[in-house]
Amino acid sequence: MAASRLAVLGCAAACVAGCSVKVHQVPVDSARLLPATVSVRMACDRRLQSVVDARDSTDRAGGLGMHLFLFDDVPGVVRKQFALAGLDARGRGPAVDIRILQFYLAQNTMTKVPVAVYEVSVDGAAPFIVRSQKASMNWNGTENEAYGAYALALSDATAQVVARLNAGCAKQG
């Protein structure tokens, strides 16, 4: 009896080892991530000095279903988000530096969780951390769902940073 179980386990292991899963690599179209409207705007002058991708893997950003998303320029996407909120390199006032610590999409069978984590410093002061992690239902695991999730994380993280920066506007003046 034990020998037959061992044989079945060995056969199962061989089958699993021989299986290959085809993952669809998706080069991200950053235009699909820009929001139609921006929920917050800068209330005072700030200048976006730098956006640095400090992630371990700067081209991969997780996936959804069988889709693996490859970003060629996450800092560029983040810069565009902030420009829409009124924070860009042409601004005046204190310099804002952003380090992208995390940017990915995780999933389980029921939920997709886009994550964006930024470390933000104003004029070299001690940095603060912003984390967006807005979970939603994983309906079909499609590319469109993933784009929507990434856009939500980017928009939320941008809004959190701008709100924190706006809170310091009274101190600037």
Q: Which amino acid is at 76?
A: G
| pLDDT score of 3 more than 50 | no
Phi/psi zone of residue 75: left (φ > 0), alpha (ψ -120 to 50 degrees), beta?
alpha
Confidence of residue 110 (pLDDT cuts 50, 70, 90): confident
Rounded Cα distance between 96 and 124, Å, is: 8
DSSP assignment letter at 125 = P
Residue 64 lies in a domain: yes
Residue 54 lies in a domain: yes
Confidence of residue 46 (pLDDT cuts 50, 70, 90): very high
| pLDDT score of 50 more than 50 | yes
Rounded to the nearest 5°, which phi and psi values hold at 19?
-75, 140
Of 113, 164, 148, nearest to 34 by C-alpha is 148
* CATH number of the domain to which 79 belongs: 3.30.160
Q: What would the mean pLDDT of 93-103 be, rounded to a whole number?
A: 95
Of 138, 159, 141, 154, nearest to 30 by C-alpha is 154
- Percent of the chain whose predicted confidence (pLDDT) is above 70: 84
Number of domains in the chain: 1
Q: Which residue has the tokens 């997709």?
A: 112
Q: What is the residue range of 147's domain?
A: 39-172
Higher pLDDT among residues 1 and 114, named by residue: 114
Residue 106 lies in a domain: yes
Confidence of residue 14 (pLDDT cuts 50, 70, 90): very low
In tens, the pLDDT along 142-152 reads 788 888 898 99
Residue 166 lies in a domain: yes
Residue 115 lies in a domain: yes
* Token digits of residue 152: 């939500």
> For position 157, what pLDDT does the model report?
95
Share the mean pLDDT of the chain: 82
In tens, the pLDDT along 55-83 reads 987 676 777 778 788 888 899 999 999 99
- Residues pairing with 113 in the sheet: 106
Residue 8 lies in a domain: no
Residue 20 lies in a domain: no
Q: What would the mean pLDDT of 35-63 be, rounded to a whole number?
A: 85
Question: Please, are residues 164 and 130 in contact by the beta-carbon 8 Å criterion?
Answer: yes
Residue 84 lies in a domain: yes
Rounded to the nearest 5°, which phi and psi values hold at 48?
-80, 105
